[in-house]
Amino acid sequence: MHTPEIVMRSWTRPAPIALFLLMLSAVAPAQIKREVLAYNVSGRPVISIRNQYGRITVTPSTGGRVVATVVHSDAVAIQAQQVENHIELVTGSQISTGAKADNVDYQVLVPADACVILSTAAGSLSAENLAGDLIFEGTTASVDAHLIHDAHVHVKTLSGPISLRQVTGGHVDVTTSSGDVLLQDVSGPMVEVHSATGRIRYSGNPGDGFYKLVTGTGNIDVALASAGLAHFKARSVKGKVDNQILPARPILASSFASSKSLLSQGSAAFELHSFRGNISMREASK
């Protein structure tokens, strides 16, 4: 009577071990790999990169080459195609577990005159030392553009900090819901920033462009290298306006007189608007 029972136990004993090995296989960490994609292009190519999690960094290449180095896990497939002078790289089959292995990092070299379109949900977008148009789109991603010349720069995000430094000679258009925006030595014919709740800061030499900085509840701070570089029209409905670089006899802007606004004289033109935030204007050295 006991023999069949003993045999049965002997037969079923390996089952927990097999189950344990199966569980180990299921939770095994994804393998990280490095993929290099290279393309030949002609003048002013269009480079589009769409990611979900991770970094996209774009810097200039030498010659008519686009070289993308992509670091990702084996749970991710990079979809890449070239149609004439247009290159598109897309992160596909990405598992949103939040693990570091799910991040995809792009290091991309492009011709300096390329039009670059970067999009990500979470992570960072950055471009440096380029002269082609730039489009940044993100949800919570941070954005950084540095040493950009004679290019249109368009930024649209939900949140995450935005930093534009030494951007000269082009149009700048920034829209964000709650991200803070830093403009440092940004100059061009038209610079426009809209943030619902984020803070906007400008510092440096504005040249002779037109600047429109608008927030709902955030503060606006402008610090110029010299008091004579710009004239201001500043308005805050419920906040304070502090202009420390007004001429000796300030001119009140009559159309805004009932809502705490001031106007001063200069070469560049600033229009600063906030509903609830405070607005300050000063020399950078002060």
Question: In the structure, what pLDDT confidence band is assigned to residue 244 with cuts at 50, 70 and 90?
Answer: confident
What number is the average pLDDT over the span 172-179? 96
The answer to whether residues 1 and 44 touch, using CB atoms and an 8 Å cutoff, is no
In the chain, the amino acid numbered 131 is: A
From the list 99, 55, 59, the residue with the least C-alpha distance to 75 is 99
Q: Mean pLDDT in the chain? A: 83
70: helix, coil or strand? strand
CA distance 207 to 89: 37
CA distance 215 to 277: 7
What is the side-by-side order of every strand in the sheet holding 86-92? Answer: 77-83, 86-92, 46-50, 115-120, 134-138, 153-157, 172-176, 190-195, 210-215, 268-274, 230-236, 261-264
CA distance 106 to 80: 13
Per-residue pLDDT, 284:
82
Per-residue pLDDT, 30:
61
Question: In the structure, what pLDDT confidence band is assigned to residue 142 with cuts at 50, 70 and 90?
Answer: very high
In the chain, the amino acid numbered 256 is: F
